[in-house]
Chains A and B, each alone.
Chain A
Amino acid sequence: MSDASYFDESAAPKLPVAAPLDFIALLKPRVMSLVVFTALAGFLLAPTLPHPLIVFAALFAIAVGAGASGALNMWYDADIDAVMRRTRLRPIPAGRIDADAALAFGVVLSILSVFTLGFVSNWLAAALLAFTIFFYVVIYTVWLKRLTPLNIVIGGAAGALPPIVGYAAATGDISMSCLVLFTIIFVWTPPHFWSLAILKIDEYGSVGLPMLPNVSGLQRTRLEILIYCLFLAPIGAGPWLLGFASWLYGFTSVSLGLGLLYLAAQLFFARDETAIRQAARRMFAFSIFYLFAVFLMITIERVLSLMGLF
């Protein structure tokens, strides 16, 4: 080594300056909160609940597992995150966290979350959580996301699994009721993300992500959103139709489903670009409200039922 390089300050190892909040941002806290919320609904469907501390510890493990898969997703997607406006301030592209540190953080938390869930509840739930992390990181992020416009159709299974993990953590088993919740999220995911993809069509195009609007065009995407909403409206009423939610839930889910269908039809029949963007924005916002309201209703009904008030 020459003296010049030996004394060159730029050759010194780059040391991290990341604060804990940067690592928390790596866990995608908003996605984590949705995962905890849907897993809690799965928990509450169980005929009998374990001790509240076990419920808390299991939900904590599920949340950490979700966060770990978010960190691994950010590690793999750092190159495209750096280009897109929506994501370029994330910790890795912004230079606050080294990519290797994010990878180590994600792997350690994945292992920790799976074993914690195994120890505090049971190994079926732990295996399902491990499968969810694997599916999100390997099947969706690494394999499908940059390969096919069906990326979120298939990858949506990862986001739909938390109610099954929650139910399995409570009972050590899987039932029709948690499978219905899985189906609701699974069918909800494509119209939700395709609405966003319509709004962000230029950004996704700039990094070459094969989202449906970029590959098949706006017309085909709007038709697919409408078709998915036609299926989602009755599937959303499934918990009531199958008898594990009340008529109040049935009324709410059918009303919300009709609202979703109306917005999907509005998006489908929109003529000019401005109208399409406005309709897509409304569809995206309402789809978030739809899922939140449906799961909130199930959660409230089950909590009241457990308290003997409903």
Chain B
Amino acid sequence: MSDKGLKDEVLSSQQGIVLTPEQVRGRRVRNIAIGLGVTFLAVLFYAVTIVRLGSVVANRSI
């Protein structure tokens, strides 16, 4: 390998792993799916908490 080629390789390795377009797309949709999943769970736990508390939540001394 020429000196220039070796220098280019080193510079490329210093940039970290370069993802293919397919890998970038895969990571993006996985991130969106995880985000939606976490949001769904947050809403579900909130709603279940409200249902379990029921009307009792209003019965407290002020």
Query: Contact residues of A with B, CB < 8 Å?
Result: 6-7, 12-13, 15-20, 23, 51, 53-54, 57, 60, 116, 119-120
Tell me if B17 and A54 are in contact (CB < 8 A).
Answer: no
Query: Contact residues of B with A, CB < 8 Å?
Result: 9, 13, 17, 19-20, 22-23, 26-27, 29-30, 33, 41, 44-45, 47-48, 51-52
Tell me if A20 and B29 are in contact (CB < 8 A).
Answer: yes
CA distance A53 to B29 in the complex (A): 29
- Residues from chain A with a CB closer than 8 A to the CB of B13 are 6-7
Tell me if A20 and B33 are in contact (CB < 8 A).
Answer: yes
Beyond A6-B13, A7-B13, 13 extra complex contacts between A and B, CB < 8 Å: A7-B9, A12-B17, A13-B17, A15-B23, A17-B20, A17-B23, A17-B26, A19-B30, A20-B30, A20-B33, A23-B30, A54-B51, A119-B48
Known: A51-B51, A54-B51. A16 touches B44 (CB 8 A): no
Closest to A13 in B: B17
- Measured between C-beta atoms, what is the minimum distance from A241 to chain B in Å? 37
Known: A7-B9, A15-B23, A16-B23. A53 touches B51 (CB 8 A): yes
CA distance A23 to B33 in the complex (A): 10
Interface of B is mostly: helix
- Measured between C-beta atoms, what is the minimum distance from B37 to chain A in Å? 9
CA distance A60 to B45 in the complex (A): 12
CA distance A54 to B51 in the complex (A): 8
Considering residues B19, B33, B48, B52, which has the most beta carbons from chain A within 10 angstroms of its beta carbon?
B48
Tell me if A15 and B19 are in contact (CB < 8 A).
Answer: yes
Known: A51-B51, A53-B48, A54-B51. A19 touches B26 (CB 8 A): yes
- Residues from chain A with a CB closer than 8 A to the CB of B22 are 17
- Measured between C-beta atoms, what is the minimum distance from A6 to chain B in Å? 7
Known: A19-B26, A20-B29. A57 touches B52 (CB 8 A): no
- Measured between C-beta atoms, what is the minimum distance from A111 to chain B in Å? 13
- Residues from chain A with a CB closer than 8 A to the CB of B33 are 20, 23
Closest to B30 in A: A20
Kindly identify which residue among B17, B23, B30, B48 contacts A57, using a CB–CB cutoff of 8 Å: B48
CA distance A120 to B52 in the complex (A): 8
Closest to A52 in B: B51
Closest to A7 in B: B9
Tell me if A120 and B23 are in contact (CB < 8 A).
Answer: no
Kindly identify which residue among B9, B20, B44 contacts A60, using a CB–CB cutoff of 8 Å: B44
CA distance A116 to B45 in the complex (A): 9
- Measured between C-beta atoms, what is the minimum distance from A127 to chain B in Å? 19
Tell me if A19 and B17 are in contact (CB < 8 A).
Answer: no
Tell me if B52 and A54 are in contact (CB < 8 A).
Answer: yes
- Residues from chain B with a CB closer than 8 A to the CB of A6 are 13
